Chains A and B, each alone.
Chain A
């Protein structure tokens, strides 16, 4: 007789907080294994904020049951960042006992009892777009509100295989090897730049001057050198068809912890410097430094020439310098 309380397959909760739903939609494009295989033979998706048919208390009861009766038996996947302003009221999962159950409360309560906690997408992993300035809802990453390990699977959106691979690894073998940002090294072990098919163009300085050109995107702000992800080899669109650079546009570093604020402008090599009231580009800072240095040196040189100091130095130090004709000084008695 089958005991219905003991699930035959691993359980998954897919919770949506402040999210655009892009990560879940991306996962639906997974192949080998696909979404259908995930829910029919690999695991049991007990709760999904986007695909679940139940509503209201029926949906919340599923979460209650998992939290109470399946401790350390489910994987909690959180998609989206966690708003903390007004005690988290900027994202409400549902109503519990007539009160709003915020995402902040939900991830803390469900996360405390989960076997593994996975942050799906850059928003959940690092704050992402919802935590970008001015961040009115005071959004933070999942790790910032939990005092346990979170496995980060960043991307905007995630590549379906990054999530599918991570979930399968957790189910089949346990926790994968993680880097310092708690990302699986399987997918985030190398920079996009080092895996890029157009690396040869980079090494030979054959650069695209604008999007749409079939060469290295470095000069138009490609963030490949500072982004760890395997997009160039794994590619996207289900059938490993393409990825941003292959589509002749720079990588915008969507899997980076700094995304998006630390990556903008996307078409510039370095981010802007934000000072009170103004934004300065990196190139402008460079130009300004050069101009100030040149003006300083130029002004001093002019002063040295006009006061006769430079001529004096030459006369004193050059062999045969005493024979040099020095122009009269501007100031009398200048020594």
Chain B
């Protein structure tokens, strides 16, 4: 019998491992589309665009599924920052900026993680909407509201940069904060 506490359910892990590679693929292929360079892992624009197209639908579907699962299981409450999160923020920041030595334990996610995950969850719809506006001509009306295709392109690029930053910070903390917690995204148990 496993006495360890389950940290991530099977559904959450499955969805995570669909949208995480999709986001990484979108970042790399998107950066290649923005500025073609072999440094992003592609040789041809065609393969970058195909990767971007497949990954965007994977992300769209897994994101919607994750939202539905969060609503059904009520686990969105663990993620979305609330008043308690804001209250806990100064102490958390003090520790993270090495001004305090007391590491506080949190039920599941610390305030930083909550803000990071929520900001990623907020950036993804921006990318979906702007990406679809660039992809489908019938959405020209939405493009017109934004001021044309060039501003939409800019917004897509800016949101992508913010995602690159957020994902980098997320990866850094998962690799250095707690290896047990990192393991839990594979096994489910911390």
A residues adjacent to B (C-beta < 8 A): 179-181, 202-205, 207, 218-219, 223, 225-227, 253, 256-258, 262-263, 269-271, 273, 282-283, 285-286, 289-290, 292-294, 296-297, 300-301, 303-304, 307, 310, 313-314, 317-318, 331, 333-335
Smallest CB–CB gap between A292 and chain B, Å? 8
Inter-chain contacts of A289 with B (CB < 8 A): 161-162, 164-165
Give min CB distance, B52 to chain A, whole Å.
13
Cα–Cα distance between A202 and B148 once the two chains are bound (Å)? 23
Known contacts A180-B144, A270-B150, A270-B154: A219-B36 contact under CB 8 Å: yes
User: Mind listing 14 A-B residue pairs with CB under 8 Å?
Assistant: A180-B141, A204-B46, A219-B35, A257-B148, A258-B151, A262-B150, A282-B157, A283-B35, A285-B158, A293-B164, A297-B169, A307-B98, A314-B179, A317-B179
- What residue of chain A has the Cβ atom nearest to residue B142's Cβ? A180
Query: Contact mask B118-161 → A, CB, 8 Å, 1/0?
Result: 00000000000000000000001100100111110110011001
State the main secondary structure of chain B at its contact with A.
helix
Q: Within 8 Å CB of B154, what residues of A? A: 270-271, 273, 282
B102 contacts the other chain (CB 8 A):
yes
> What is the CB-to-nearest-CB distance from A194 to chain B, in angstroms, rounded to a whole number?
10
A-B CB proximity, top 10 nearest: A317-B179, A226-B149, A258-B148, A203-B46, A293-B165, A262-B150, A289-B161, A180-B140, A205-B45, A297-B172
Contact partners of B49 in chain A: CB under 8 A: 203
Q: Is the CB of B102 within 8 A of A204?
A: no
**In the bound complex, do residue A304 and residue B176 qualify as a contact, i.e. CB atoms below 8 Å apart?**
yes
Contacts of B164 in A (CB 8 A): 289-290, 293
Measuring CB to CB, which residues of chain B are less than 8 angstroms from any residue of chain A? 34-36, 42-46, 49, 96, 98, 101-103, 140-141, 144, 147-151, 153-154, 157-158, 161-162, 164-165, 168-169, 172, 176-180
Contact A269 B34 (CB under 8 A): yes
In angstroms, Cα B142 to Cα A145, docked, is 23
A205 near B169: Cβ-Cβ < 8 Å: no
